[in-house]
Amino acid sequence: MNVANVTKGEQTRALTVSTLSFTVCFAVWTIFSIIGMKIKAELGLSDTQFGILVATPILTGSLSRLFLGIWTDQYGGRIVYTVQMLLTAVAAYLLTMVNTYEMFLVAALGVGLAGGSFAVGVAYVSRWFPKERQGTALGIFGMGNVGAAITNFGAPFLLIAMGGAWQGVAQVYAIILAVTGVLYYIFAKDDPALKERKASGAEHASFAEQMEPLRNIQVWRFSLYYFFVFGAYVALALWLPRYYVGAYGLELTTAGVLAAMYALPGSIFRALGGYLSDVFGARRVMYWTFIACVICTFIMSYPSTQYTVAGIDGPVEFNITIPLEMFVFLTIILGFFMSLGKAAVYKHIPVYYPDHVGSVGGIVGLIGGLGGFVLPITFGIMNDMIGVWTSCFMLLTVIIGIALAWMHFSILRLDKQNNPELSGPRDLPELEALAK
């Protein structure tokens, strides 16, 4: 693919329309984090049922990323992105017409198509930029994750403006998404790779050919990284409003604002993560991410503990837990490093698999998205079973630890393969010279 003839104006246009569309899609994708609280109250759902409800759109969004990414490689992002947004808008509007838990789950599957937009955008945007700038470009595109913050912050106030009717919120979201889909089709252009293929008359790669790189274990290692940096990010964006209400007794509007303080840095610094990956290397950024995140989640895992001590007038109970201010600060740090990590993971893909960005990006996004599906359900089950709110952070600490260990030992193994002399005894001539 030749991008030498692509102008800066064309690159900016493609990146801008894709990022804005992804922002709207992501806001719709996480809508249940807010309206789900109203539905939970209306239907009397348990935490487990609530976890399944908010996670169901994440399932569709995750599974759809693989074939949407492949279709983007085959037919171009302009048409695939447009159709995906229009179908999701219809599903979001139909959501307001159901009234049973089972039908809410069915409708949520349709809303989940919004999450598939990421695979489309990654494949489309990467086609417009040379390798040395793809990390920054994809980082800027990934800032569309800020849609989760927009929903957590804005949807509670929109809910109030609608008189507490969550149906009104869903209808507004559906209309905005439909308009975005139409505008995207008008302003977006076919990417250079698609134009080149059309001009030459070459056929697109078959589905089987696009799936070939998925036999590489490296792809699945990247997927585990994304399971945490993206999947856990989405899971916490969905779960934190409920966490703040249940663990700290806050009002929904306050809980939404505090959850947005986590989601915002988890989105806006993705461009910085792409830039740092271009400058310092994606591997180094991943080390920074995992080490910082394991420290944060370990501290946040400390459970609330009650102590009873003897007092002058009888026993006195103390409830020892993480202060709200400290907890919010840790979520901000966590979101910031997750943002860097998301960009770093996707910096790898166009470099290692330039002709299969759609399929490889799709499977990595799929596994990452499944984290956003599985984890909220797991959080709800753990909360119902053991009643420890911080158990969700205990689980995340384990996941990060596994990802960090796998990455580190894989890097050591690759270094030994590329530099066999490192696998044996090492001479340190500079130290011997100093000893003399």
Report the 3 state secondary structure along 231-255. HHHHHHHHHHHHHHHHHHCCCHHHH
Q: What is the pLDDT of residue 72?
A: 86
Residue range 26-83, pLDDT digits in tens: 999 888 888 888 888 888 988 888 888 888 888 888 888 878 888 887 888 899 999 9
Quote the CA–CA distance of 364 and 355 in Å, as a whole number: 15
Q: Which of 369, 373, 340, 356 is nearest to 116 (CA)?
A: 369
φ and ψ at residue 119, rounded to 5 degrees: -65, -35
Q: What is the pLDDT of residue 430?
A: 42
End-to-end CA distance of the chain: 57
- Residue 216 φ/ψ region, left for φ over 0, alpha for ψ in the -120 to 50 degree band, beta for the rest: beta
User: Looking at the domain 10-195+206-417, which fold is it?
Assistant: Growth Hormone; Chain: A; (1.20.1250)
| Burial class for 73, CB neighbours closer than 10 Å (0-12, 13-18, 19+) | buried
Q: What is the pLDDT of residue 433?
A: 44
Q: What is the pLDDT of residue 33?
A: 80
Looking at 8-46, list the stretches that DSSP marks H as alpha helix, in order from N- to C-terminal side: 8-29, 32-43
Question: CB of 237 within 8 A of CB of 148?
Answer: yes
The pTM (predicted TM-score) of the whole model is 0.69
Task: Give the torsion through C-alpha atoms of 44, 50, 54, 55, to 10 deg.
Answer: -150
Q: What is the pLDDT of residue 298?
A: 94
Q: What is the pLDDT of residue 313?
A: 60
Tokens for 371, please give them. 């984290």
Q: What is the pLDDT of residue 418?
A: 67
Q: What is the pLDDT of residue 105?
A: 92
Dmax (CA) of the chain = 89
Distances (CA, A) of 210 to 37, 217, 361: 40, 16, 11
Residue range 372-417, pLDDT digits in tens: 888 988 888 888 888 788 889 999 999 999 999 988 888 888 777 7
Distances (CA, A) of 158 to 33, 108, 170, 339: 14, 20, 10, 27
| Burial class for 309, CB neighbours closer than 10 Å (0-12, 13-18, 19+) | exposed
Q: Which of 391, 365, 381 is nearest to 303 (CA)?
A: 391
Q: How many other C-beta atoms lie within 10 A of the C-beta of residue 426? A: 7
Task: Give the torsion through C-alpha atoms of 395, 399, 405, 407, to 10 deg.
Answer: -160
For residue 229, what is the DSSP state?
A: I
Which parts of the chain have pLDDT scores under 70? 1-4, 198-214, 304-321, 355, 357-358, 418-436
